[in-house]
Structure 1
Amino acid sequence: MLKIPVTELFSSIQGEGPYVGARQIFLRLPKCNLNCPYCDTETIIPEKCRMESIPGSKDFRMLKNPIELNELIELLRSYDFSLHHSISITGGEPLLWADELQLLLPLIREYNLPVYLETNGTLPKQLDKILPFVDIISMDIKLPFGEKVFWNVHEDFLRKSLSKNVFLKIVVDEKAKLQDLQNARDLIANVDPSLLTILQPVTKINGIESPKPRQILDWQRLFLEKLKNVRVIPQTHVFMGQL
């Protein structure tokens, strides 16, 4: 049986985007193809994964990595699916494990649990492998950092995602450049100006500061010049004390 490495499996409250407050099962997978300066998540493959002993208890036991897919399904079955809005497949970047997810997600959908994919939106070929098994896509639009620019691959990824319930999330900090914000806005507008777009002020980390209140208002106005549905939503799980 195929195996997949897992960082952690737990039940908690979604803290970002339009589904803030919804109860979800979180399946966090390791590794990432990016190194975003504001990232607050460990992405290495751990020797052991954290599994919540009782869903929602925050008491964890450790299991050896990687985990067989059938064993992972058995662990998921200990969760009361009726209490959960969906299962969030998150990371890291979960699409790095597209081959494994191609087998795992159909098994999850047998239990009528919607699949919510959190992704940095830079791996469109990998998305093709699992798109039929995904219900909701939380797609990042990454503003350029270092020498990395993502506009073309983001547009490709977004167009592939339109068959699903997709929304966009853009993390912004105090030093976000106006031209980068305009490029992000125009990319979305060229694909579908009605798509829900979330401006997410960065949670202060590694010396990176959140935008000033006036900046957020100005940037939202900028996006609303071409887009129909633009919201500002911070990371709420941080101040709620949730994972």
Structure 2
Amino acid sequence: MPQLPVTEIFSSIQGEGPYVGVRQIFLRLPKCNLRCPYCDTPTALSQYMRMETDPGSGAFERKKNPIPLDSLSEMLRSYDFSIHHSLSITGGEPLLWSKDLAYLLPLLKDKNIKIYLETNGTLPEQLLEILPWVDIISMDIKLPFANQTFWNVHETFLRHSLHKEVFVKIVVNEDTSIDQLQNVRDLILRVDPSIQTILQPVTPTGVIKAPKSLQLIQWQSFLLRELSMVRVIPQTHVFMGQL
């Protein structure tokens, strides 16, 4: 039986992007192929995962990793999806586990569970392995860091994503440049200028500072000259003290 390591499963409120405020079940998977300087999410593979015992309670129990996929399917199917909008598959980078997800996700579809994928948008071939079972794609567009750029792979990923509902998020900080945003705008224009675009001011960590309000207004105006839907939405779960 295939097995999948899990970081945690819990019920909470979506805190980012256009679905801010909806209730979701979160399936967080370990490991990531990037090391974003502002990341505050644990990605290490652990011997144990934690699962919320009562949805929304904040009380957890531990289970040993990895978990057989049939058992994981039963855990997820046991949640009440009449009050949860969707299952958010997040990480880390969940597409590192695409082959396991390609086994798991079909087991959930007979319950009409909507699948919401949160991804850094750098693994387009892995996306194709699970695309038939995904409903909504929340794709990051990563601005360059540590001498790494992602424009080409992001464009390929975004083109694959057009078969589903997709929006993009760009985490911006005080040092974000207009040249970087020009590259973002050009990338989206080449694919589809109607794709919803979210400017997400970084939650400050260490030396990384959030942009000033005037910067956000100016950047939004710049993007709106060519793109049809650009919104500024911070990480609202941080304000609410939610996971």
What is the TM-score with the length of structure 1 in the denominator? 0.99
Listed one character per residue, the Cα deviations across residues 145-194 of structure 1 (whole Å, up to 9, x for unaligned) are 01100000000000000010000000000001211111011100111001
1:146 is matched with 146
- 2:77, 2:108 within 8 Å by CA — same for their partners in 1? no
2:234 is matched with 234
Q: Secondary structure at the match of 2:74?
A: helix
Aligned pairs for 1:107-186 within 5 A: 107-186=107-186
Matched, 1:16 2:21: no
Q: Secondary structure at the match of 1:183?
A: helix
Question: How far apart are the structure 1 equivalents of 2:145 and 2:177?
Answer: 11
Matched, 1:7 2:7: yes
Listed one character per residue, the Cα deviations across residues 22-42 of structure 1 (whole Å, up to 9, x for unaligned) are 000000000000000000101
Q: Secondary structure at the match of 1:83?
A: coil
Listed one character per residue, the Cα deviations across residues 57-83 of structure 1 (whole Å, up to 9, x for unaligned) are 110000000000111112113311111
Structure 1, unmatched stretches of 5+, are: none
- 2:198, 2:233 within 8 Å by CA — same for their partners in 1? yes
Question: How far apart are the structure 2 equivalents of 1:194 and 1:201?
Answer: 21
- 2:121, 2:154 within 8 Å by CA — same for their partners in 1? yes
Question: How far apart are the structure 1 equivalents of 2:102 and 2:64?
Answer: 22
Matched, 1:211 2:218: no
Question: How far apart are the structure 1 equivalents of 2:39 and 2:108?
Answer: 28
Structure 1 runs (4+) deviating above 3 angstroms are none
Matched, 1:75 2:75: yes
Question: How far apart are the structure 2 equivalents of 1:21 and 1:181?
Answer: 27
Question: How far apart are the structure 2 equivalents of 1:76 and 1:129?
Answer: 21
Listed one character per residue, the Cα deviations across residues 94-133 of structure 1 (whole Å, up to 9, x for unaligned) are 0000000000011111210100000000000100100001
Structure 2, unmatched stretches of 5+, are: none
Q: Secondary structure at the match of 2:187?
A: helix
Question: How far apart are the structure 2 equivalents of 1:104 and 1:73?
Answer: 7
Give the letter for the 1:99 counterpart. K
Give the letter for the 1:100 counterpart. D
Supply the RMSD in Å over aligned alpha carbons: 0.6
Aligned residue pairs: how many? 243
1:101 is matched with 101
1:48 is displaced (CA, Å) by: 0.4
Question: How far apart are the structure 2 equivalents of 1:162 and 1:75?
Answer: 31
